[in-house]
Amino acid sequence: MRTDMHVQQGRPQPGPEIWIRGPVPLPEEPPPAPSAAAPRRFSWVGTHGGAGVSTLASVYGGHDCGRNWPGPAGPQSVLLVARTHAAGLTGALNALEVFRRGEAPHGLDLDAVVLVADAPGRLPRPLAERVKVIESVIDVYRVPWVPAWRLGDLSGPPPREAEALARLTGRTR
């Protein structure tokens, strides 16, 4: 009797040989991950004027692209930046649409949207709802209102409320 036959509807059918001869090698183990990986480099891209790109690049490091896409020499990992006012959130949604349609320059990786508070305090409900729309499609990092930054003092550590962004960019306190 053949061992490579299967019975289907009462008739033998050819099937694959399932026997393995000899020892089966163990899969190779992946090389150990480096203990301290270098932080990823980012390009900060503003979705509108006054978004805070230069401030964030100064505080967190990375490439300040202003409102332009990074060039070939710039980091291809993009963090879109917008203020939390109506025009800023509209700009962020428009930039996300550019990526969704595939119209962003080839090779760019959209990593997240960084929303910078446009004023102290809570967002009004209509703006908070727009933020939820953005959060439904991509990671969002929030940066609170920092009075010292308004005065041009960027020497202090990043705000505690933006710790997740500090981890993402590799900026430690």
Count of residues in the chain: 173
Whether residue 106 is contained in a domain is answered as yes
Whether residue 83 is contained in a domain is answered as yes
Residues 6+ apart with CB under 8 A from 170: 38, 39, 40, 61
Given a cut of 50, the residues of the chain with pLDDT beneath it are: 1-5, 34-35
Whether residue 5 is contained in a domain is answered as no
pLDDT, one tens digit per residue, over 8-50 is 555 555 555 555 555 556 667 665 554 455 557 899 999 999 9
- Say which residue the tokens 């990671």 belong to: 139
Q: What total number of domains does the chain contain?
A: 1
Whether residue 7 is contained in a domain is answered as no
Residues spanned by the domain of 64: 43-169
Token couple for 149: 């930054």
Token couple for 88: 């800023």
